[in-house]
Amino acid sequence: MKLQEYHAKALLLRQGLPVPDFAIAQSAAEARSAAERFLAGGAGKVVIKAQVLVGGRGKAGGVKLAGSAEEAEQVASAILGMDIKGITVRRVLVAPAAEIEHEYYLAAVLDRASRKVMVMASAEGGVEIEQVAEENPDAIVRVHAHPHLGLLDHQARLLGFRLGLGAHLREFGVIARGLYATMVANDADLVEINPLAVVREGDARSLQCLDAKVTIDDSALERHPDLEQMRDLDEEDPVDVAAREQGLSFIRLDGTIGCMVNGAGLAMTTMDLIKRAGGEPANFLDIGGGAKADKVAAAMTLILADESVRAILVNIFGGIARGDEVAHGLVEARAQQERHVPMVVRIVGTNAELAARILADAGDPDVTTAETLDEAVERVVAASRAPAEASA
Amino acid sequence: MSILVGPQTRLVVQGITGREGGFHAQQMQDYGTNIVCGVTPRKGGQQALERPVPVFDTCWQAVHETGANTSVIYVPAAGAPDAILEAVDAGIGTIFCITEHIPALDMLKVVHVVDAAGARLVGPNCPGATSVGSAKVGIIPGSIHRPGTVGVVSRSGTLTYEVVEALTEAGIGQSTCVGIGGDPINGSSFIDILRLFRDDPETEAVVLIGEIGGNAEEQAAAWIGEHMAGVPMASFIAGRSAPPGRRMGHAGAIISGSGGTAESKIAALEAVGVRVADAPSEIPKLLVEAGVRPG
């Protein structure tokens, strides 16, 4: 689960990291009063940033400076309601604009290969790390935190020295260890501070976290009810929300063939084969192991909610999942649905014969069965191309 | 011989009194796996299964009273990391964790303890392993196999069954089929299992089933190039049509930036002579091309 910048910054603050003061505004008037407060506190300008989970908000015009409260109100009113990659901006973050001397990059990620937390840093901050990795890979310094002892002092020092942060070494050490602590305290799989900046205030210079990204491990959300509260339902497709509530793994795509499969690998394979046969999958859907009839029915409702679906492929390899349970769910779902879309069903493995009998007894003219995956794919792609009246 | 599990296996089922654990323990026993006992804390003294085995409170008792040398874990995610460590502390050398949704940072601590103890962990979030005809540990359906000399290693569950069934129907039997699991942090890598297959006299060819996300397939390809040249191998990579940036079910299955794509994995495998199939049903044909004879 991705967190908004203001939530990510709140988590950094909890671990004692230096994050400049900020406020959240849902209206231009709120943005104005926050700007008034920061300008009265001595800030020369304020920055107003759209709070959306998609990247590239700066380029889209979602980050702007303002020199007065009036200007802040105007800018906020332009950004609020703006569409950034299909997401409507509902909140802006308002903060005093920092006088930046240099921008660094600092992040903690799960490294699969070493099976450790990797802390990465670069003196080329403020740009996407992928870009640095491509253009100047040597500019990225990496250390692996000890799996049981965490990020060690000498590792933090090493990063600081290699970034050329000699004058700010102590500050940097506190920040690097705080970054790691943020990862562990929240079961994050990514904590990114970009930029981590040397900021000037009068004659004083300090390191400050000016932007932050945090992604939480979905498997750990159960033990972090406070983080679950940070989920931004406004930015989620309502279909995704419904799928999660049913315990289904569902991703909507652009095609016309609905897919219902058990197991993520087999679900991807089914999509791949549909595409290879000239069809376009309308979704990824893994109903999981041991799916019961009601879950199958809920999955069918999700698929049929997509108006562009013209045919459905059900591919179940029974192991934990039992074929008869799935067949019952399908029959139940068909009885509840008003839309009749041709459906190809392939159920093999545990209780497959029982499943075939249940489907045959239901006698639904829209349902055909297939023995092999290749055969099922061929039929469903043909059905998706049939004239619309056939499925009306 | 086969790998990981076989006639030498003396299996303890951790979580044997639970719904999943009980169901699959019976399936394993019916297959012929030598289950010596179960462990569920506070259920010690009970019996389980149709050919009854004792249930103990601790893995320590399982090892001391029945000589268990292999464990399979069906404990819910909140207790599974501790169940793995309990098995390690009891001296069990081979541990399969079927449980899914274990937080990655928990596994990150656990895998290094497992390694330091010299034990082997397969999973979590994996279907287990079956050595055809001698032992089935986990949840892979027993009926899909045929005995033979092809080793199968996979990151998926049901996709593995699909491939194994295709092999069986084509008359190509298997030595051992292993699912290493789809989580980002797991106990055994492709390379760990490939090394066992290379050293197993009963395994003559290998099928590797991968999926998008991470770079485990690329690393496996590099290792194959150095250590398994000449061994007939075929592969299938799931997720060619997956959009970047979306997590496809498994926590590990995501294309991020330019990394983890099916194209990169396929190119790496083909570069070291592994034949990569466009569909699971094509794998038997590719193995035959590589020199495997259907039995």
Residues A301 and A381 in one domain: yes
Give how far A35 is from chain B: nearest CA, Å. Answer: 35
Domain boundaries along the sequence of chain B:
11-122, 140-289
Residues A126 and A261 in one domain: no
Burial of A235 (0-12, 13-18, 19+ CB in 10 A): middle
* Largest separation between any pair of C-alpha atoms in chain A: 83
- Give the mean pLDDT of A77-86: 93
Burial of B279 (0-12, 13-18, 19+ CB in 10 A): middle
pLDDT tens digit string along B86-119?
999 999 999 999 999 999 999 999 999 999 999 9
Question: How would you classify the pairing of strands B174-179 and B47-48?
Answer: unpaired
What is d(CA A120, CA B54) in angstroms, rounded to the nearest whole number?
50
Residues A282 and A369 in one domain: yes
- Give the mean pLDDT of A86-114: 94
Average pLDDT of every residue of chain B: 94
Q: Is the peptide bond before B232 cis (omega within 30 degrees of 0)?
A: no
A·B CB contacts under 8 A: 161
pLDDT tens digit string along A139-194?
899 999 999 999 999 999 999 999 999 899 999 999 999 999 999 999 999 999 99
pLDDT band, residue A134 (cuts 50/70/90): confident
Q: Which residues of B are catalytic?
A: 250
CATH superfamily, domain at B11-122 = NAD(P)-binding Rossmann-like Domain (3.40.50.720)
pLDDT band, residue A392 (cuts 50/70/90): very low
**Which of A251, A275, A317 lies closest to B161 in CB terms?**
A317
Q: Which of A97, A117, A140 is the C-terminal boundary of a domain? A: A97
Q: Could you give the ipTM of this predicted complex? A: 0.92
pLDDT at B250: 66
Percentage of the residues of chain A whose pLDDT score is greater than 90: 73
Residues A130 and A218 in one domain: yes
CATH superfamily, domain at B140-289 = Succinyl-CoA synthetase domains (3.40.50.261)
Question: Is the minimum CB–CB distance between B25 and chain A shorter than 8 Å?
Answer: no
CATH of the domain at A190: 3.30.470.20
pLDDT at A176: 98
Residues A370 and A337 in one domain: yes
B125: left (phi over 0), alpha (psi -120 to 50) or beta: left
Residues A314 and A269 in one domain: yes
pLDDT at B254: 66
- Give the mean pLDDT of A274-279: 97
pLDDT at B28: 97
Name which of A277-291, B20-34, B215-229 the model is least confident about: A277-291
Question: Is the minimum CB–CB distance between B120 and chain A shorter than 8 Å?
Answer: no
Residues A383 and A246 in one domain: yes
**List of chain B residues whose C-beta atoms are within 8 Å of the C-beta of residue A374:** 279, 281
pLDDT tens digit string along B69-85?
999 999 999 999 999 99
Q: Which domain holds residue A199?
A: 1-19+99-236
pLDDT band, residue B260 (cuts 50/70/90): confident
pLDDT at B251: 60
Residues A282 and A376 in one domain: yes
- In terms of pLDDT, which residue wins out, B19 or B194? B194
Give how far B4 is from chain A: nearest CA, Å. Answer: 22
Average pLDDT of every residue of chain A: 92
Residues A276 and A287 in one domain: yes
pLDDT band, residue A390 (cuts 50/70/90): very low
pLDDT band, residue A391 (cuts 50/70/90): very low
Residues A110 and A61 in one domain: no
Domain pair B11-122 / B140-289, same fold = yes
Question: Is the minimum CB–CB distance between A348 and chain B shorter than 8 Å?
Answer: yes
Burial of A122 (0-12, 13-18, 19+ CB in 10 A): buried
Burial of A18 (0-12, 13-18, 19+ CB in 10 A): middle
Residues A114 and A27 in one domain: no
* Residue closest to A317 by CA, chosen among A266, A259, A368: A266
pLDDT tens digit string along A332-347?
888 887 888 999 999 9
Instruction: Compare all CA atoms of chain B with the CA of A184 and give the residue at the minimum distance.
Output: B105
Residues A4 and A144 in one domain: yes
pTM to 2 decimal places: 0.93
pLDDT at B253: 67
Contact (CB<8Å) A265/B157: yes
Query: Is the pLDDT reported for residue B1 higher than 80?
Result: no
Among A6, A104, A105, A180, the active-site one is A105
Q: How many domains does chain A have?
A: 3
